[in-house]
Structure 1
Amino acid sequence: MAAKRLIPTLNRILIEKIVPPSKTTAGVLLPESSTKLNSGKVVAVGPGARDKSGNVIPVCVKEGDTVLLPEYGGTQVKLGDKEFHLYRDEDILGKLVE
């Protein structure tokens, strides 16, 4: 079976959420409240929205970026056995840099 690839339209961004570890390397279990950082990795990006003149407004993130996501929102998409989320460009709260 061929793998499906989703290319977002307009200013939408396909994101794979990052699941924080539930235990440390020493085996200590972490409480759920301490591991709650709602972030994800950008998998695919649409070309951008158009303004009234027809000019393309590019999306502010690129593939591979790590972004901070809102607690609620986005559209859940399942491709194969993986789960992804689609967000609009304006819904992304910020980029996380190392």
Structure 2
Amino acid sequence: MKLVPLGDRVVLKQTEKEETTKSGIILAAKAQEKPVTAEVIAVGPGGMVDGKEVTMQVKVGDQVIYSKYAGNEVKLDEEEYVIVKQSDILAIVE
């Protein structure tokens, strides 16, 4: 199966959660923060959204930082993804 986002939506795959701190302390699952960096897996076509023209500024393969509580989490073929609006993406990591 394949996810194809509509409008100004973007499908993201979160980067792996870090389980140890830089000093070597192992974190419990509850103490780990939700990651806010992800790789772009699919990009919607953009177009007219809420009466405004939206041009997509991200592309497949980009590493991005997005709002911490943005989007909807979905599971497809044992993989977890987050679908967000382009406006929830804060930056592209270069």
How many residue pairs get aligned? The number is: 89
**Matching residue of 2:8:** 11
Superimposed CA distance per residue, residues 28-56 of structure 1 (whole angstroms, 9 cap, x where no aligned partner):
335557x7651000000000031648xx5
Determine which structure has more spread, i.e. the larger CA radius of gyration. Answer: 1
- 2:43 counterpart of 1:45: yes
Alpha-carbon shift at residue 69 of structure 1 (Å): 1.3
- Residue segments in structure 1 that go unaligned for 5+ positions in a row: none
- Secondary structure (helix, strand or coil) at the match of 1:6 reads coil
- 2:75 counterpart of 1:78: yes
Q: TM-score, normalised by structure 2?
A: 0.78
Superimposed CA distance per residue, residues 14-35 of structure 1 (whole angstroms, 9 cap, x where no aligned partner):
00011243248xxx335557x7
**Matching residue of 1:62:** 59
Q: Is the alpha carbon distance of 1:37 and 1:80 closer, same or farther for their aligned partners in structure 2, counting shifts above 3 Å?
A: closer
1:83 partner amino acid: E
Q: TM-score, normalised by structure 1?
A: 0.75
Of residues 10, 18, 21, the one that matches 1:21 is 18
What fraction of aligned residue pairs are identical, expressed as a percent?
28
- 8 Å Cα contact 2:34/2:68 also seen in 1: no
